[in-house]
Amino acid sequence: MLISKHVRTGVVVIAAGLALAGCAKASGTSAGGPNEAPAMVEQVPEGEIPAVTLTSDAAERIGLQTGTVREENVDGVPRKVVPYAALLYDPKGDAYVYATSAPLVFKRAKLVVDTITGDRVVLADGPPSGTTVVTVGASELFGAEVEIGE
């Protein structure tokens, strides 16, 4: 039976997001106290993408790893590239990465994929070069963001 790549990715995202089940939705940052939720989701108006702040324990538990958006020559033209492991699709099939703006604070950034070759994704549009993106743990961040497990 053939299953589309987007459906498979969505199932993986949902299943992996259960690792952070029980995450709280609140504003502010996370200090990692003993009674604190592993992830805090920023309160934002409906339709906006919230930031997700992890405790250091949660980041360690999910094995959080990062890479960067970088410029590479692709067919002689400088292009933005991200590691394939950073690529995440939402249930609608839109492509994202989780970018970080501060330690343990992550926000989904939409991108447009041009091509995928091996372990690199060439972007038609996306975050600026030098942006730090999550390569391991993005599906757990997505699960926390959309409150899977609550």
**49-98, pLDDT tens digit by residue?**
999 999 999 999 999 999 999 999 999 999 999 999 999 999 999 999 99
Q: Give the CA dihedral 136, 140, 145, 148, nearest 10 degrees.
A: 160
Query: In total, how many domains does the chain have?
Result: 1
Q: How far apart are CA 89 and CA 12, in angstroms?
A: 10
* Domain hosting residue 24, numbered range: 5-145
Segment 98-142, tens digit of pLDDT: 999 899 999 999 999 999 999 999 999 999 999 999 999 999 999
Contact at 8 Å (CB) between 127 and 98? Answer: no
Is residue 35 in a domain?
Answer: yes
Is residue 150 in a domain?
Answer: no
Is residue 119 in a domain?
Answer: yes
What's the pTM value of the predicted model, to 2 decimals? 0.76
Contact at 8 Å (CB) between 73 and 116? Answer: no
Is residue 12 in a domain?
Answer: yes
CATH code at position 50: 2.40.420.20
CA-based nearest residue to 98, from 72, 61, 59: 59
